[in-house]
Structure 1
Amino acid sequence: MCSCQQHSTATSVATLAPNGAISFRVEDMTCGHCAGTIKQAIEGRIPGALVTADPASKLVNVQGSADFAAIKSAVVAAGYTPSAEPIG
């Protein structure tokens, strides 16, 4: 987790994006540095994954992997708190 500002520990429910990407929230992603760290963490651990992370909406979208457990593990290892499970 970066030191840009205080991070929240709240989480919310994830959703499955219409294009097949897994979409979920990371409430403690507060800035571009956080988004970059999360993107690198997922793409570095899951070959072929393409990640977009938006700190304004706190949404992360992952294409190229349906393994939410592996995605969640990568986000947690980077120091962030992903939502509990994707739905849909």
Structure 2
Amino acid sequence: MTKVIDERVLKIYRDRIAYVENSNVTVDVDRSLPTVSIEAPDAEGFFMQGDEAETFIAEADRVYEELQEVSFDEACKAVASPYADLMS
């Protein structure tokens, strides 16, 4: 069954993704460890591991599956947007 996503919700996530991309923030996820690194030039970044990283990855998975129109990397950027905001 295909889930229909409200266009307003999709726009909010696309705006979050664009914000992270325009801020030159990089998000690196390693599921095997698990770790998440969120970094930007000239700013102190964030590094997560263990439960914190698993929570981030689970949220990115949820966004990816819910939206169906973004890549997993884009879903990670959407989830990382509050962190990017703190780095600006």
TM over 0.5, yes or no? no
More helix by share: 2
Q: Give the TM-score of the pair, scaled to structure 2.
A: 0.33
User: Which gives a bigger RCO, structure 1 or 2 (Cα 8 Å, sep 6+)?
Assistant: 1
- Structure number with greater Rg is 2
TM-score by length of 1: 0.33
